[in-house]
């Protein structure tokens, strides 16, 4: 793989525009109307638009938009003139968006029409302009494209590797957002080295389903494919099954980046019920050779659903359910688990589909150092520390917070627990902040208990927390499957409710007994509470634990 001569976004773009001019670049599903040559022309126009507005090197420009080709155009234009992009997650509340615009001191913002209402009336003196990202027209002034000055030589603008490229405000699961400062080198270096785990070529077709404002999709779903001349396809609507399934058949993607929840839902709603449909299939599925055969058949059908050409299904952002992963392996589905954080731009470790190992992530990404700080002598578990060229510059306007997570000798404290197996593969065990210390001083890892709970019938997802010194499991059940069991009692309200309460209590007792027989004595749950509504989630589909603690 050819290395970048200079790790900046403008240098990467110049190289790609030169090499891949006639190849398709960023397009909507079903449309092929933007070559890399045309992408360059659009980026140049928007770059000059920003310059004409008075945006200069170091100024902050926000992007609040659903995924689309123009998201990438805007991001590249901001980087081209040395300004700093501030991607904002579409799921943020109006109050959070206002706080980000104020804190970042953004001078302009590109916004898609469906999110414009979230901005409201801008009370910020420093915000010069709001642009409709779909056509780059001004929303708050009479400014038009006739005001664009084309005189500036964009290639003459000096952008250095250590210059700030982006400030990404994390949603996190602990409540407060932080502005992660990523340099040009952080992002481009991470994308290039991610390409060593999975080779990307001009023949690849990415289907983008995660928010571009998150560093996972931004670096690996935008920068990486553009670096190697691949095509990225975007959906015009939210990726519901009704939208996604036809798109998969049109695009026939070779690469998809996802979070665990998506593939877990597909497995639990479409695949697992088939193996529980009748006593005979249940018995047969417990016989290893037959189970593998059935999983292989289901895997072939799953591949067809995804278009038939998929060779890399990247999973990141949270821990994948063990039962689901076992199915994917036996089904020979080309999944790959990656590990990283916004603060590391994001990728730190991973393995390609052909060398993955069950319940591990993979070795450190080339060029990245990972250590387990102060590992437990018995388990080998400890906090994961990282070092590499992809490590953030720090948290914006938060020097003290930066010092808390980056040691004087350059190690980043991830706040994640993990260990290395005998082959040097990293295994993720959970968040350090989520760890619960028992009355006897034992370390309890909620994520490990949750993986056991999630394997029980009817369980969709769970959350283990501590309340008044007790371990409590909050459990969300498959309502459709549960209600189907009581269909015959629908017309008898009293009988229905009585039966439901009776069966529910029986279910809770069985679940608690099952879980406590599969975990250590100090990890046993004292109470199971059935959730009436789904858990609230971050934009990367992690449960917001802080809301339930």
Number of separate domains in the chain:
3
Both tokens of residue 385? 């520390």
Q: Decide: 315 and 188 in contact? Cβ < 8 Å.
A: no
296 and 376 inside one domain:
yes
Parent domain of 283: 255-301+311-434
Q: What is the arithmetic mean of pLDDT over 140-163?
A: 74
- Tell me, yes or no, whether 411 and 444 share the same domain: no
Please tell me whether residues 386 and 477 are part of one structural domain. Answer: no
Output the pLDDT for position 148. Answer: 63
Confidence of residue 491 (pLDDT cuts 50, 70, 90): low
- Are 368 and 489 within one domain? no
Please check the confidence at residue 505 and state whether its pLDDT lies above 90.
no
Q: Which pLDDT value is given to residue 173?
A: 43
Sequence-ordered list of residues with C-beta below 8 angstroms from that of 65, at least 6 positions apart, any chain: 71, 74, 90, 110, 111, 112, 115, 133, 212, 213
My answer on whether 423 and 479 are in the same domain is no
pLDDT (mean) for 83-93: 93
410 shares its domain with 465: no
- Comparison of pLDDT for 438 and 354, the residue scoring more: 354
Range of weakest confidence among 92-101, 201-210, 384-393, 437-446: 437-446
Question: How many Cβ atoms from other residues are within 10 Å of residue 272's Cβ?
Answer: 18
Q: What percent of the chain has pLDDT over 70?
A: 91
User: Same domain for 173 and 31?
Assistant: yes
The verdict on 134 and 75 lying in the same domain is: yes
Peptide bond into 226 cis (omega under 30): no
pLDDT tens digits for range 181-204 = 999 999 999 999 999 999 999 999
Q: What is the mean pLDDT of residues 323-338?
A: 96
- The DSSP code for 158 is -
Q: What is the pLDDT of residue 549?
A: 77
pTM for this prediction: 0.88
Q: Quick check: is 98 in a domain?
A: yes
pLDDT value, residue 150? 64
- CATH number, domain of 354, equals 3.40.50.12780
320, 421: one domain? yes
Q: What are phi and psi of 74, to 5 degrees?
A: -65, -45
Least-confidence region, from 6-10, 167-171, 327-331:
167-171
pLDDT of residue 495: 60
Asked whether residue 2 is assigned to any structural domain, the reply reads: no
| 434, 452, 476 - which closes a domain | 434
């Amino acid at each position: 793989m050819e290395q970048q001569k200079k790790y900046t976004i403008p240098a990467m773009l110049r190289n790609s525009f030169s090499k891949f001019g006639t190849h398709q670049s960023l397009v909507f599903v079903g449309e092929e109307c933007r070559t890399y040559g045309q992408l360059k022309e659009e980026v140049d126009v928007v770059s000059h638009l920003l310059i004409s507005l008075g945006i200069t090197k170091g100024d902050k420009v926000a992007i609040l938009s659903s995924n689309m080709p123009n998201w990438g155009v805007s991001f590249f234009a901001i980087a081209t003139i040395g300004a700093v992009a501030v991607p904002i997650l579409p799921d943020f509340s109006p109050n959070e968006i206002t706080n980000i615009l104020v804190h970042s001191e953004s001078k302009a913002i590109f916004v898609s029409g469906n999110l414009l209402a979230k901005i409201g009336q801008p009370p910020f003196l420093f915000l010069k302009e709001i642009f409709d990202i779909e056509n780059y027209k001004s929303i708050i002034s009479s400014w038009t494209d006739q005001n664009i000055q084309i005189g500036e030589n964009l290639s003459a603008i000096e952008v250095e590797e250590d210059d700030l490229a982006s400030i990404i405000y994390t949603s996190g699961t602990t409540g407060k957002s932080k502005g992660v400062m990523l340099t040009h080198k952080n992002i481009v270096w991470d994308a290039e080295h991610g390409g060593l785990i999975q080779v990307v070529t001009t023949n690849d077709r990415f289907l983008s389903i995660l928010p571009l404002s998150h560093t996972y999709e931004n670096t690996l779903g935008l920068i990486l494919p553009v670096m190697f001349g691949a095509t990225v396809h975007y959906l015009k609507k939210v990726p519901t099954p009704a939208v996604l399934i036809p798109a998969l058949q049109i695009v026939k993607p070779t690469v998809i980046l996802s979070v665990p929840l998506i593939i877990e839902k597909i497995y639990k709603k479409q695949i697992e019920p088939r193996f529980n449909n009748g006593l005979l299939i249940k018995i047969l599925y417990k016989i290893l050779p037959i189970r593998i055969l059935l999983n292989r058949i289901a895997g072939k059908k799953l591949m067809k659903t995804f278009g038939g050409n998929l060779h890399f299904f990247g999973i990141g952002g949270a821990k994948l359910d063990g039962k689901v992963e076992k199915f994917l392996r036996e089904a020979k589905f080309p999944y790959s688990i990656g590990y990283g954080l916004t603060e590391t731009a994001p990728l730190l470790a991973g393995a390609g589909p052909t060398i993955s190992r069950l319940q591990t992530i993979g070795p450190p990404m080339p060029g990245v150092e990972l250590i387990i700080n102060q590992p437990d002598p018995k388990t080998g578990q400890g906090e994961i520390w990282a070092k590499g060229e992809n490590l953030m510059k720090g948290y914006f306007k938060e020097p003290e917070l930066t010092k808390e997570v980056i040691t004087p000798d350059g190690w980043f404290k991830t706040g994640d627990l993990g260990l290395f197996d005998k082959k040097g593969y990293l295994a993720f065990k959970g968040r350090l902040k989520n760890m619960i210390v028992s009355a006897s001083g034992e370390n309890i890892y909620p994520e490990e208990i949750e993986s056991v709970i999630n394997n029980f019938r009817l369980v969709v997802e769970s959350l283990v927390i501590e309340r008044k010194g007790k371990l409590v499991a909050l459990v969300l059940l498959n309502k459709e499957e549960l209600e189907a069991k009581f269909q015959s009692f629908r017309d008898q309200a009293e009988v229905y409710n009585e039966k439901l309460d009776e069966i529910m209590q029986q279910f809770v007792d069985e679940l608690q007994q099952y879980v406590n027989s599969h975990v250590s004595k100090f990890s046993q749950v004292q109470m199971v509470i059935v959730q009436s509504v789904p858990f609230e989630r971050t934009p990367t589909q992690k449960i917001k634990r802080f809301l339930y603690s």
